[in-house]
């Protein structure tokens, strides 16, 4: 980090990544184009290729960025110090936020449908990202059941996979049927995981 990159270069690169991510989550990988990004940026489509030579690399960069974000968030003292139910709620908040904005789907939900058409690099990175998220949630669930703050049957990993699957799907539902439906599903999910308080 002896020399900083030229401000404009950095900004353009970052802006491209940001716009591409928005477009990916809104339209899916096969329905967004360099033209969409270029128009927004006020440059020609080919300019994007300087920063991201191929769409494959652009797509991979988006997944890598979300991977970094996940790790950073997960390891935040603000998050690690929470109780398991609070960690679960923190995760749900991420999805609630997306549901309220667009609604956007999550990265997994945006890419899974087109999975077979994705470049191999992107397929592999999505597997890693999703696997790591599931692993983290499984840990949270296991800790919660151990201390009695969460309840569920079966293996924590199975339950984590089920919860994340439901969350990914629920954002797709929000898009099709509206945000209200999304909240129905989330309330259902949350109610089942939190132990029934004896009156």
Residue ranges that bind a second copy, judged by CB under 8 A:
26-28, 30-31, 105, 108-117, 123, 126-127, 130-131, 153-155, 157-159, 161-162, 165-166, 168-170, 172-173, 175-177, 181, 184-185, 187-189, 191-192
Instruction: Say how far apart CA 193 and CA 124 lie, in whole Å.
Output: 31
Site string for DNA, 33-72 (x = CB under 7 A): xxxx------xxxxx-xxx-xxxx----------------
Instruction: Say how far apart CA 190 and CA 169 lie, in whole Å.
Output: 15
- Judged by beta carbon distances under 5 to 8 A according to partner kind, the member of a second copy, DNA, none in contact with residue 46 is DNA
Chosen residue from 32, 95, 136, 182 binding DNA by CB under 7 A: 32
C-beta closer to a second copy: residue 105 or 140: 105
Which two tokens mark 167? 């969350």
Provide the b/e sequence for 87-124 (b: ≥16 CB within 10 Å): bbebbbeebbebbeeebbbbbbbbbbeeeeebeeebee
C-beta closer to a second copy: residue 81 or 198: 198
- First-to-last alpha carbon distance for the chain, in angstroms, is 59
Give the sign of the dihedral formed by CA 151, CA 156, CA 159, CA 164.
positive
Chain centre distance of CA 107: 4
C-beta closer to a second copy: residue 7 or 116: 116
Instruction: Say how far apart CA 121 and CA 37 lie, in whole Å.
Output: 22
- Judged by beta carbon distances under 5 to 8 A according to partner kind, the member of a second copy, DNA, none in contact with residue 114 is a second copy
Q: In whole angstroms, how close is the CB of 101 to DNA at the nearest point? A: 23
Applying CB under 7 A, the residues found at the interface with DNA are 5-6, 8-9, 12, 32-36, 43-47, 49-51, 53-56
């Amino acid at each position: 980090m002896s020399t900083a990159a030229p401000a404009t270069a950095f900004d353009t690169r970052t802006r491209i990544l940001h716009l591409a991510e928005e477009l990916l989550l809104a339209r899916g990988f096969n329905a967004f184009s360099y033209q969409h990004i270029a128009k927004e940026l006020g440059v020609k489509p080919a300019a994007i290729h300087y920063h991201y030579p191929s769409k494959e690399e652009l797509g991979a960069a988006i997944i890598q960025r979300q991977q970094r974000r996940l790790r950073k968030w997960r390891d935040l003292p603000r998050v690690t110090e929470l109780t398991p139910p609070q960690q679960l709620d923190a995760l749900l908040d991420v999805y609630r936020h997306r549901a309220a904005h667009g609604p956007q789907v999550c990265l997994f939900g945006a890419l899974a449908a087109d999975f077979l058409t994705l470049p191999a690099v992107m397929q592999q990175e999505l597997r890693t990202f999703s696997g790591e998220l599931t692993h983290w949630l499984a840990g949270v669930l296991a800790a919660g059941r151990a201390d009695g703050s969460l309840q569920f049957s079966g293996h924590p990993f199975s339950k984590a996979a089920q919860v994340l699957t439901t969350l990914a799907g629920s954002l797709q539902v929000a898009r099709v049927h509206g945000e209200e439906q999304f909240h129905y599903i989330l309330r259902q999910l949350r109610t089942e995981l939190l132990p029934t308080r004896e009156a």
